[in-house]
Structure 1
């Protein structure tokens, strides 16, 4: 599916510039009344104040138009505006569901309109069956059968979540008749990283501590079902401004490429980042 975060800025959204509006209205007035040129050069002139007030009100109006335009775009709609986008596709927000998750389900719903049996349809069913499903992977290694792997938020609820998803997929109109569906829970794969980070002289003393925290957050965002983690990605996360070089003293921590299967996802294992000092 299209990554909505990578779309170019929509042309319908206008950049607002108060000073530019004031200039436009002054020029418009001068075309209509050239004799006003002398007073328009005085900041304290009441006519200038009126133009500024008019320009400010116009800027507020243009801003409201921008907001209305964003509310009609799936990439920007939020809150109740997003609820109405989902309602158009007959897909309601789940209780307590965050905008980003709901937005992803709406995308899946649109893709699933091609008909039951698509991968998007099965993912949509899984995500809609339980809020405990972070994501799902759908494969068909054997013709005529479907294998669904669930990536769960709370692994302790695996049995109940799997049962809820399987029931949703076996519901009437959920899938083509005669297509068996198997269910499994994805397995976490620990990514171990042992690295020495050498600082530039201008870098703060606590930079390694900050990079450790940011690496954990980046991995959580980067990780997805079946997505391998190459060493080059790890290096890029550690080679932050202020770090002169990164070394991996322990072979395999990380591997050149941590390859993951379709039913696996990466999590942080033993992360040991050592401050090597100033290079």
Structure 2
């Protein structure tokens, strides 16, 4: 089951686009009409120093703030836009409670999974939501079966330790999914680390003539940081991705030696990056 991508939804039609100048024009038009009805000449509305216009500008700004507050109150009741305590109250309706230190985006994802997983039978979203709810150290989880085996596999990645879930973290998830109120009676569940392999990277780097050689020390760490941010379950390690991440300012050319081919990762697994061996091959324009 695919998790709903709330960010792909169009903006709600109930949200009003706010324009100060339009509100002011409406107020000035109303003011002009009232003066006309009263038979009072009024033809100085175009002057910035006109006291009536100054009052209308203040009123227009206050109306703008009120309309903005209405927009914000409406958005606070939508799962895609609610943040902070507003999200906490909205998620509580679905029995979702924020973990200590859990950010809005992770909590929002878990709430969607809890909603999707509400079923009389054990579902992939439900077990995934339970796994994510075991600890904020869980980066992601995949729930699947291997072939026709009746056993359910729950593979998890960690936010630290290069994505490798340690025994303590696996035990937390196992306790969560095996809980009597969670596991279906007929389900046999096994919790495993999603990282099945480690890939070492070897590359030759050419720098521009004016680039300091000290950049070589930072390149490996920068790519590892990019991998930690972008990679995860089912994320392939391609030579093109490595070249793109190694082409920092000052780098002229990159040649990937290892891996010798793209490493394709199944959706239920993750790959860890091992050692980085970067060789300064020369300088070129």
- What are structure 1's unaligned runs of at least 5 residues? none
Question: Pairwise mapping of residues 74-223 of structure 1 onto structure 2 (< 5 A)?
Answer: 74-141=79-146, 142-155=148-161, 158-187=166-195, 189-190=198-199, 192=201, 194=203, 196=205, 216-223=224-231
1:89 is displaced (CA, Å) by 0.1
Structure 2 CA distance for partners of 1:250 and 1:213, relative to 1, 3 Å? closer
**Whole-angstrom CA distance in 1 between matches of 2:202 and 2:193:** 25
User: Equivalents in 1 of 2:41, 2:261: separation in Å?
Assistant: 72
Q: Is the 8 A contact 2:232 2:271 kept in 1?
A: yes
Deviations 1:88-137 (A, max 9, x none): 10111112222121111101101101343211111111111223222111
Q: For the Cα contact (< 8 Å) 1:97–1:131, is it kept in 2?
A: yes
Check conservation: 2:247, 2:254, Cα contact below 8 A: no
Contact 1:223/1:266 (<8 A) preserved: no
2:16 aligned residue: 14
SS at match of 1:250: strand
Distance 2:48 2:200 in 1: 63
Which structure's CA Rg is the greater one?
2
RMSD: 3.6
- More helix, by proportion: 1
Residues 148-157 or 188-197, more deviating: 188-197
1:270 aligns with 2:276: yes
2:47 corresponds, among 24, 28, 42, to 42
Q: Matched residues in 2 for 1:28 and 1:271: separation?
A: 73
**Alpha-carbon deviation of 1:68?**
1.0
Deviation at residue 27 of structure 1 after TM alignment: 2.4
